[in-house]
A and B are shown apart, each in its own frame.
Chain A
Amino acid sequence: MRSTLLQHLAPNLRTLLEPLRTWELIEEIRLRINQPLLIKERGLEYGVNRMGICRVHESYCVTMEDLTRSFEIMTDNSWYALEDEIRSGYLTLSGGHRVGISGKVVLERGYIKTLKYINGLNIRLARAVPGAADPVMRQILRGDRIVSTLIISPPGCGKTTLLRDICRQLSNRGFNVVVIDERSEIAACHRGIPQLDIGESTYVIDSCPKAQGISMVLRGLAPDVIITDEIGHPDDGTALADAIRAGVEVISSCHGADWDSVQQRTWMQYGRAAFAQAVFLSRRCGPGTVEQVLKLD
């Protein structure tokens, strides 16, 4: 993982980050122009300087050259080839790592045309966790029947990691799994190739709006189960309900602290019927802690 990420960074940053001994714990790397180079481990921020990990105020200060060079390498010197991703504010790198972008937004007729003056990059390290879904697989797979499930938690509790491992396990058990990966987070496709293990019989529809993707795969790919991340738009709820009516199970996730807050979302008006159970996650014992499995009527 270290080498797959370091190749995307400016040589100066590579030199600083390469010797770190805690790579398996790093969750994020944060670069902002004229601000300390930060890494996030177990939810806490640390600085990095030539001596290794240090306090934030002792950290190496990221220069404009570091950031610009890193961004050029990440985009393969081809900004134009990644216009849509940049407009959406993120990139997916080979290795599945995900980069959030901040900068000045250029609007055209009220819509985001592009970003310029890039001033910050937030790199989230992709890490497949085989076995992350073990605690919930008995609830999701009853005999040879998949139970439609909604995974709920606040951000950073491991929803996507759990979805990815559910996908891998169902796929390897012979189910025809289709992933609608609107933000390229589940399979982390780079130029169409999944960078993380999502199983041997999984189709991925990458960077596709969920509602359109669901109606597309129902017609063409004959899935046993559709897996998708972060439902939010009312159209997503309608499309998921359509999938259930077509006899296809769905497994998805959404942000939320508890069932009451999720029920108030607009997409729930149509999407509620799609799910037979909800799984609640927290970080209490680390990311992916299963707090509760709620049966829905």
Chain B
Amino acid sequence: MLRLFGALIVIIGCGLGGMVVAKSYALRPQHLRELSNALQLLATEIDYARTSLSEACSKIAGQTKGPAAQFFAQFAAYLEGRSGMSANEAWSKSLQVLADAGFVKQELETIGHFGSVLGRSDAEDQLKHLALLQTRLEQFGDQAEQEREKMVRLWNYLGFCIGALAVLMLI
């Protein structure tokens, strides 16, 4: 009886672990879409209102969801800190929020690179860089979508299978 109970715990534990991994694949396209939407809002603030970066990002944080909202809130907080931090430094430090949310290295590098030009040129140039970053995020989004289709189903089953295998080996 105790063995059966232990086996069930192992299978359910591994199954839940697999579902967590599957969930991270399921959320990635959504997170990328939210970030892309937030960048579109930033482009609008720059193009039409010429709002300063800290004010625009603070506003965007309130209009966005998920890690993108936390990222922009963190970035705005660094800029408003008046510590003399440059936009590039603030952007780079804020990337930790996205890293914690499961953004992969290549995505973080692309987003991070944008920090070196952010706020440092006229509106026309800023909009070009923003459009470029959005295009890259859409490409990442497409890849993430394809991965999601494969990996979500895989990890939903794989977790339970690993659990069952472990039980068989232990018995």
Contacts and interface: CB of A to CB of B under 8 A. Distances in A.
B122 A77 contact: no
Contacts of B50: 78, 80-81, 83
B51 A77 contact: no
Contact of B53 (A7, A11, A78): A78
B106 interface: no
Contacts of A79: 119-122
A80 B86 contact: no
B119 A75 contact: yes
A83 B123 contact: yes
Interface string A103-114: 000000000011
Nearest to A83: B122
Interface string B59-85: 000000000000000000001001110
B84 A73 contact: yes
A81 B87 contact: no
Interface residues on B, range: 20 to 34
A72 B120 contact: yes
A62 to B, nearest CB: 16
A77 B120 CA distance: 7
B15 to A, nearest CB: 48
A283 interface: no
Contacts of A78: 50-54, 119
A141 B53 CA distance: 46
Contact of B54 (A7, A77, A83): A77
A10 B84 contact: yes
Interface in A69-127: 69, 72-73, 75-81, 83, 113-114
A113 B84 CA distance: 28
Nearest to B90: A77
B46 interface: yes
Nearest to B49: A81
Contacts of B122: 79-80, 83, 113-114
Interface in B85-128: 86-87, 90, 118-123, 125-126
B84 A80 contact: no
Contacts of A69: 84, 86
Contacts of B119: 72, 75, 77-80
Given A7-B82, A72-B120, A75-B119, A80 B126 contact: yes
7 contacts: A11-B83, A69-B84, A72-B120, A76-B53, A77-B79, A80-B50, A81-B50
Closest 9 CB pairs of A and B: A77-B87, A77-B119, A80-B123, A78-B52, A81-B50, A11-B84, A78-B53, A76-B52, A77-B53
Interface of B: 46, 50-54, 79, 82-84, 86-87, 90, 118-123, 125-126
